[in-house]
């Protein structure tokens, strides 16, 4: 069985959707201010639901796994240039960066 759907709570569905589409290649499948549906090329669906407050556990995050360390470095440079607060690449369980997405959740990028 394969995990194919994830629902995220966000304080700003449009900003979260724009972020995920711009930097992680998801497609916006539509919605409104309170709900948006995104999809990747493998068919994974991420829904974004608006809430006044986002309360994830401290270590909660979603992750993307690009092909190789150069892709992590390129995304780090792009996010930093665009004004996001991004952790410098480090080796943990892989070569990773973490960024706070608009709307209140953390994204990990690991090669």
**What's the DSSP call for residue 86?**
B
* Domains of the chain with CATH codes: 5-52+60-110 (3.10.180.10)
* Four-residue CA torsion sign, 32, 36, 37, 41: positive
Q: Considering the entire predicted model, what is its pTM? A: 0.94
Terminal CA-CA length for the chain? 24
pLDDT of residue 86: 97
pLDDT of residue 92: 85
pLDDT of residue 23: 98
Residue 33 pLDDT more than 90? no
Per residue in 48-104, pLDDT (tens digit) is 999 999 999 999 999 999 999 999 999 999 999 999 999 999 998 899 999 999 999
User: What are the φ/ψ torsions at residue 100 (nearest 5 degrees)?
Assistant: -85, 120
Backbone conformation region of residue 4, classed left if phi is above 0, alpha if psi is from -120 to 50, else beta = alpha
């Amino acid at each position: 069985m394969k995990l194919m759907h994830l629902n995220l709570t966000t304080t700003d569905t449009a900003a979260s959707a724009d972020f995920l589409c711009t930097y992680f290649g998801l497609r916006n499948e539509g919605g409104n201010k309170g709900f948006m549906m995104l999809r990747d090329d493998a068919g994974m669906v991420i829904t974004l639901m608006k809430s006044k407050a986002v309360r994830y556990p401290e270590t909660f995050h979603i992750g993307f796994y690009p092909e190789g360390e150069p892709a992590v470095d390129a995304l780090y440079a792009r996010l930093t240039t665009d004004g996001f607060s991004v952790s410098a690449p480090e080796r943990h369980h892989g070569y990773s960066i973490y960024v706070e997405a608009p709307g209140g959740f953390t994204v990990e990028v690991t090669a």
